[in-house]
Structure 1
Amino acid sequence: MTTRTVIVTGANAGLGLECARNLLERDDSWHVVLAVRNPELGTAAIAELGAPERCSVIRVDLASLASVRDFVTAFAAAGLPPLHAVVCNAGLQTTTTKFTADGVEMTFGVNHLGHFELVTGLLDHLAAPGRIVVVASGTHDPQKFTGMPHPDYTSAEDLAYPAADASADGRRRYTTSKLCNVLFAYELDRRLGRGARGITVTAFDPGLMPASGLARDYSPAMRLVWRIIGPMLRVLPNVNTTRTSGRRLAALAVDPAFEGVTGRYYEGVKEIRSSPDSYDEAKAADLWRTSERLVQSSTA
């Protein structure tokens, strides 16, 4: 019998699917909500996971703040066991400039703003002890060699509404959105009293996962190159399969070993320091204030 619920965004494939699989395998008391954009793919994922009685699919399109609010309403009405964990996993990387239904740059909108609205909307439903895990990336840290452009955080306003002559480098927008993920996790932890309310917040770097699907928006030629070189990268440090990283992500969400751990950043199972910029409270406050304004204006 399930007694606790965990929500995993983007749980129909890749890291999210493997996280859901491990959650189901490690403890029979958990009910897993697959928060996915395409319910048909979510239903297929449940069939693959093999525990339909312990899974639910609720649609959410993180590129639409209205859809995120609909998700929160649907979850509250679903009659599921109390919510004790939220895993903010879904993400994308684009190569062209795109915008969400709310007119916000797509990478920032999905990777950060959609999750901001989701988590803040779920806080009243999150029971203590509860955990929030935000999937970030080592690419947020310019001191690490990742082969990706360094993040460029000027202001959240600039990220949401880039100037017409701004760089269209989708990879830099991705790394900057991952910095936003860490800034958000730390600021949320501060606002929740650093665990005083019984809710903990951690950020997680799953490492490079060649099979994750993040390159799906690349050109055909670049996808071919990625398919060829991806498997070769597994000999390098912090290059993992989605199964390995999914197991580690699930542990942060529910394993007793991480009880009470909050405001921390993990590279796999190892706690490390995140980038210097990620501890910049002025940047975090700017990101929070702007995110609040953006979600409020979407309801006007």
Structure 2
Amino acid sequence: MKTIIITGANSGLGFECAKNILLENPGYFIVMACRSIEKAEKSKSELIKMTKNENIAVMELNLSSLNSVRKFAENFKQAGYPPLFGIVCNAGISNSNVGVTEDGFDIVFGTNHLGHFLLTVLLLPLVEENGRITVVSSDMHNPPNGLTYRGAEELAHPASKINDIYSQSKLCNLYFTYELAGRLSEMGRKITVNAFNPGLLTDTNFHVNSTRSFSEDFMKKVADRIGYLSESGKALADMVTKPYYGENTGKYNDRGEEIPSSELSYNAENAKKLWESSVNYTKLQKNETLDGLL
């Protein structure tokens, strides 16, 4: 038995991913890492009923709180679950969220990037060799009208609302993916780190408010980006469990197909600086993660 942590597993893509793993892979134990224990427990009951598989547990995790992330990591270490095989960094929030985290960072940047950065790096010492880190990004890291990276400091502490903050955070997901994959490879660690694009999922509650505000012209531009929850959930589950996906690292998977991400996403200097800033923002210490990673 091996453990897979899925953030935001109580609904949407995370729920579908968990469902597919439980249905097809009795050898995995799912940890639903969710902000609301009440919602997660309800979803856990639904998953058990749907899959007839009880290899699942709920743990509290608020990605917008660095203290919550640290507490989750400590609680997981003490929980006695099967060895950690995979982490699915799935949870995220959209542009419609405004404000700052309890640590003073922009709420979207703090949740979508910084929380997952800290979670993953803290748990890396527990991940098995040949384990997998899967980061849910988005093709909106490269929006139809293009994107100019603003840099970590402006994203973390913006002077005013950043209208493209979601796209910026999804670009940060890719910088994190590629930088972590490279560092682990240099260390000789056989842990794959790959990114996943589920497409624009209009059949979830994530984009309910956003899609209503999208113009008809915009929707035409992104027609080829529309994804479907059932298909994307299955594709994400496959990335976590299928042998093929354990052979490659530092890749971008678009709903089951490995493709290049944007040219901007391969800027190694941006990725390195974001990594260094993230270490500083989260106050990570060398003794908290794999030796030689920081």
Determine if the TM-score, normalized by the shorter chain, exceeds 0.5.
yes
Deviation, 1:150, is 3.7
Kindly indicate whether the alpha-carbon contact (under 8 Å) linking 1:150 and 1:175 is maintained by their aligned counterparts in 2. Answer: no
Does residue 279 of structure 2 align to residue 292 of structure 1? Answer: yes
- Matching residue's letter, 1:280: N
Q: How far 1:225 moved relative to its partner?
A: 6.1
Contact 1:195–1:262, Cα closer than 8 Å, also in 2: no
1:124 aligns with 2:120: no
Counterpart Cα distance in 1 of 2:17 and 2:245: 16
Of 173, 177, 200, 1:181 maps to 173
Secondary structure of the equivalent of 2:45? Answer: helix
Q: Secondary structure at the match of 1:153?
A: coil
Q: 1:30-82: CA deviations, max 9, x gaps?
A: 00000000011111111111146200001000000000001101111111100
8 Å Cα contact 2:194/2:251 also seen in 1: yes
- Pairwise CA distance, 1:26: 1.3
Q: CA deviation at 1:94?
A: 3.2
Moved more, 192-201 or 238-247: 192-201
Measure how far apart 1:9 and its partner are. 0.3
- What's the CA shift string for 1:220-249, capped at 9, x where partnerless? xx67567xx8xx98x943422211101101
Structure 2 residue 65 is the aligned partner of structure 1 residue 73: no
Distance 1:60 1:54 in 2: 19
2:240 equivalent among 235, 241, 253? 253
Which residue does the alignment assign to 1:158? 154
Match of 1:206 among 198, 201, 213: 198
SS of the aligned residue for 1:237 comes to: helix
* 1:206 positional shift: 0.5
Q: What TM-score results when the alignment is normalised by the length of structure 1?
A: 0.87
Equivalent pair of 1:95/1:168 in contact (CA under 8 Å): no
Counterpart selection for 2:270 from 283, 288, 297: 283
Q: Deviation at 1:286?
A: 0.9
Distance 2:97 2:35 in 1: 21
Q: Does 1:45 align with 2:43?
A: yes
In structure 2, distance between residues paired with 1:91 and 1:190: 24
Q: Give runs of ≥4 in structure 1 deviating > 4 Å.
A: 222-226
Gaps of 5+ in 1: none
Tell me, in whole angstroms, the C-alpha distance in 2 between the residues paired with 1:53 and 1:167. 43
Instruction: State the 1:15 CA deviation.
Output: 0.3
What is the TM-score of this pair, normalised by structure 2?
Answer: 0.89
| Distance across 2 between alignment mates of 1:242 and 1:195 | 36
Residue aligning to 1:31: 29
The Cα shift of 1:168 comes to 3.7
Superposition map of 1:235-274 within 5 A? 236-274=223-261
Query: What whole-Å deviation, never above 9, does each CA across 1:110-147 have from its counterpart, x for those lacking one?
Result: 000000000001001111110000000001124xx3xx
Deviation (angstroms), 1:196: 3.0
Question: Gaps (5+ residues) in structure 2?
Answer: 286-294
What SS is found at the alignment partner of 1:63?
A: coil
Which segment is superposed worse, 151-160 or 174-183? 151-160
Q: Which residue of 1 aligns with 2:87?
A: 86
Percent identity between the two aligned chains:
40
Checking the alignment, whether the CA contact within 8 Å between 1:194 and 1:200 is kept in structure 2 is no
Residue aligned with 1:53, SS = coil
Note if 1:196 corresponds to 2:196.
no
Q: Paired residue for 2:6?
A: 8
Work out the number of aligned pairs and report it: 279
What is the SS of the residue equivalent to 1:213?
Answer: coil
Cα RMSD for the two superposed structures: 2.3
